Structure 1
Amino acid sequence: MKKLIMTLTVGALLVGCGENNHDGSREENEKNANAGENKPSAEEMADYSGLFQSDSSKDVLAEVTLLPSENYHIPTVSIAEPFPEDEADDYNHSEREIAEEFMDRDGRIYFTLKDHPLRNIASADGTTTYLANYHDGFIHLLDAEAYVLDENMIEEAYLFFINQSDDVNYRMWEEASNLERGIMQMIYLTAPNVNELGDLLAEDVYVGDDFEQINSQFTNLGSPNMIFPTSQTVADMTLFEDMLKIHALWGELGQFEQPEENKEAYTALYNDLRLEMTNMVGAINTTLAK
């Protein structure tokens, strides 16, 4: 495989789940924090160094062809109530049950949005119940919305991620994990707003309707109510860590107070976000490579 280069920083591992309190707390994105023994070794992750370096002149996000909406609202799909009272028991499982009943031959558990992908899972020892997202889209729990691309945009987004390097064979979209597909959709959906914000900052614009609308979207994206697709592969665990950093930066950027009076700090935060999202493109490119 052709060597790919990227700088990555590893954060704390969370896996689209947490204590079953349904209050949208950050804990709902926790579960495999104690699954570190399953993480790949440094040698195994040598090829997971990715595509880009921090000093790369390649502006990858600018290549996204999706345009922002008029009010910068990132499109979502409404989902049914996650846990309808009359059917609540149907969405409670033990770790063994969910694997035995719903895991396919490739080791993947997947539910469509109509099939209630958010499931309450009891740990093997019965001491913990956590919330798992078995769809391939990020789901905002309180808004009951999923961040997914239209079907006619899937191929375009997939090609964006695999076209970043040459002479490499890639797994198809259908072969990607839920988390890989979710990240591809999320990066592609949010890149237009990141690009637009960069244009505003280049013009020294730190106030106004456009600026506020973009930051409002980042506030929602960075909400602790955003439930990631649950990690199901070894590579997913590292991807989740990296995605968690992007999630935190979305929230920090959106909630930054008085950016017009703290332009340097705000711009530095924006640059951190853009770099992490650019690096994520390289990370996905690498994990999809056969």
Structure 2
Amino acid sequence: MRWNHRIKMFTAIFSLVAVLTACGGGAKEATTKEPIQDAGTVATATNSSDTSTADSSAADTNAEDSADTSSTSDTTGASSEEGKIGVDSTLEELKQKYADKLGYIRVPLNDHPVRRVSEEGSKNINIANYSDAVVNMNTGIPIHSDSQRLIDDAFPFFTIVQAPEVSYVSWEEATNLERAMVKTLFISRQALLLTEDAMKNKDYTSQSFTDSMEFFKNAAEFDSMAPVAQHTYDITLTKLYDKARESWAKLAAIDPEQDEAAFAEKYTEARTEANNVMGLLNILLSTNEEERLEQTYGK
């Protein structure tokens, strides 16, 4: 799915659920936390080095995007020991080596972003993604394009395009999860537009429709791991993203040629859940997110 070419073909924009209001300035403070992924749950995932997600992602991007991720694929795919998910690390090591000035731990995609994290004095092991992309937990490879071109289009779309009068944080100040949502939700928005176009034309055989369903399936896979929460609001964002993923899985599971009414119903649900997480993302990227959260959702 060549998002950067096809996105220009559509003018419809989903309305965000957020109430967009004027605001003041100031960057949010980072509150770096222990990874919240539960090690017991993650351990039930497949340990095979499944590259189907990476193959699909590569097919969905142009030559420029493929060049951006190919070096990551070569190095990260072999990052884990046989039978293990992630590279063993301690939380203190990650903080010392990868924490930025805001306190966010940011592991590059070409340096094994999925980590098995232990903490001194504890026997618990948490498996977490410390990159700023949604990745396959077995390979560390992004499920989506990760090019600068995507960021240049997607970040303004979720900020100043929605509400020019609002003040926003910079890309450098956004959390890993917020960055990953900017990329993933921008592509999901395009996939929903392509799906809507297929429904209007009753054409479910096009490559664009097939690619859209494949993206939704890949994003909904258990192996697709979003970045670990490192800010209080990341937890809420994760919950809304998970609801969107569930709706995408239900949509992609239906053959519209067999049951068009059921497909249309699930499409509406998928669009609603996507709008919900997009609306929250716009608020969290603003510099007065607390004020806007209260205005939109109440205390």
**Partner residue, 2:240:** 242
Given that 1:180 and 1:236 are in contact with CA atoms closer than 8 Å, whether structure 2 keeps it comes out as yes
Provide the C-alpha distance between the structure 2 equivalents of 1:143 and 1:270, rounded to a whole number of angstroms.
Answer: 30
Does residue 130 in structure 1 map to residue 123 in structure 2? Answer: no
Provide the C-alpha distance between the structure 2 equivalents of 1:217 and 1:285, rounded to a whole number of angstroms.
Answer: 23
**Aligned counterpart for 1:261 among listed residues 243, 258, 261:** 258
Does residue 139 in structure 1 map to residue 135 in structure 2? Answer: yes
Given that 2:247 and 2:273 are in contact with CA atoms closer than 8 Å, whether structure 1 keeps it comes out as no
Provide the C-alpha distance between the structure 2 equivalents of 1:253 and 1:136, rounded to a whole number of angstroms.
Answer: 26
Distance verdict in 2 for CA 1:18–1:247, change over 3 Å:
farther
Does residue 156 in structure 1 map to residue 178 in structure 2? Answer: no
**Partner residue, 2:19:** 5
Distance verdict in 2 for CA 1:225–1:239, change over 3 Å:
same
**Partner residue, 2:95:** 99
Structure 1 counterpart SS, 2:257: helix
Provide the C-alpha distance between the structure 1 equivalents of 2:125 and 2:235, rounded to a whole number of angstroms.
Answer: 20
Provide the C-alpha distance between the structure 2 equivalents of 1:252 and 1:143, rounded to a whole number of angstroms.
Answer: 25
Provide the C-alpha distance between the structure 2 equivalents of 1:124 and 1:255, rounded to a whole number of angstroms.
Answer: 44
TM-score by length of 1: 0.69
**Aligned counterpart for 1:198 among listed residues 193, 196, 202:** 196
Query: What is the letter of the counterpart of residue 246 of structure 2?
Result: A
Report how far residue 107 of structure 1 moved.
1.5
Report which structure shows greater RCO (CA 8 Å, sep ≥6).
1
Provide the C-alpha distance between the structure 2 equivalents of 1:247 and 1:18, rounded to a whole number of angstroms.
Answer: 21
**Partner residue, 2:178:** 180
Report how far residue 288 of structure 1 moved.
1.2
Provide the C-alpha distance between the structure 1 equivalents of 2:78 and 2:225, rounded to a whole number of angstroms.
Answer: 12
Provide the C-alpha distance between the structure 2 equivalents of 1:287 and 1:82, rounded to a whole number of angstroms.
Answer: 35
**Aligned counterpart for 1:73 among listed residues 60, 63, 66:** 60
Equivalenced residue count is 235
My pick for the range that moved more, 198-207 or 232-241, is 198-207
Given that 2:112 and 2:140 are in contact with CA atoms closer than 8 Å, whether structure 1 keeps it comes out as no
Provide the C-alpha distance between the structure 2 equivalents of 1:183 and 1:92, rounded to a whole number of angstroms.
Answer: 26
Query: What is the letter of the counterpart of residue 91 of structure 2?
Result: E
Provide the C-alpha distance between the structure 1 equivalents of 2:38 and 2:132, rounded to a whole number of angstroms.
Answer: 14
Does residue 116 in structure 1 map to residue 112 in structure 2? Answer: yes
Report how far residue 23 of structure 1 moved.
3.1
Distance verdict in 2 for CA 1:128–1:82, change over 3 Å:
farther
Report how far residue 110 of structure 1 moved.
0.4
Distance verdict in 2 for CA 1:173–1:208, change over 3 Å:
closer
Does residue 23 in structure 1 map to residue 10 in structure 2? Answer: no
Provide the C-alpha distance between the structure 2 equivalents of 1:72 and 1:253, rounded to a whole number of angstroms.
Answer: 21
Deviations 1:159-207 (A, max 9, x none): 1011211421110111100000000001112322211111111223456
Deviations 1:197-253 (A, max 9, x none): 111112234566654443233212211110101110011111111111112222222
Report how far residue 21 of structure 1 moved.
3.0
Report how far residue 103 of structure 1 moved.
2.6
Name the % identity: 23
Deviations 1:60-103 (A, max 9, x none): xxxxxxxxx9x9835663432253449x9x93123344335533
My pick for the range that moved more, 133-142 or 272-281, is 272-281
Given that 1:193 and 1:214 are in contact with CA atoms closer than 8 Å, whether structure 2 keeps it comes out as yes
Given that 1:136 and 1:181 are in contact with CA atoms closer than 8 Å, whether structure 2 keeps it comes out as yes
Provide the C-alpha distance between the structure 2 equivalents of 1:276 and 1:85, rounded to a whole number of angstroms.
Answer: 37
Report how far residue 274 of structure 1 moved.
1.3
Report how far residue 139 of structure 1 moved.
0.4
My pick for the range that moved more, 151-160 or 77-86, is 77-86
Given that 2:114 and 2:137 are in contact with CA atoms closer than 8 Å, whether structure 1 keeps it comes out as no
Unpaired segments of 5 or more residues in structure 1? 7-13, 26-68
Query: What is the letter of the counterpart of residue 109 of structure 1?
Result: I
Distance verdict in 2 for CA 1:125–1:16, change over 3 Å:
same
Deviations 1:2-44 (A, max 9, x none): xx539xxxxxxx956643537349xxxxxxxxxxxxxxxxxxx
**Partner residue, 1:225:** 223
Does residue 275 in structure 1 map to residue 262 in structure 2? Answer: no
Query: What is the letter of the counterpart of residue 223 of structure 2?
Result: N
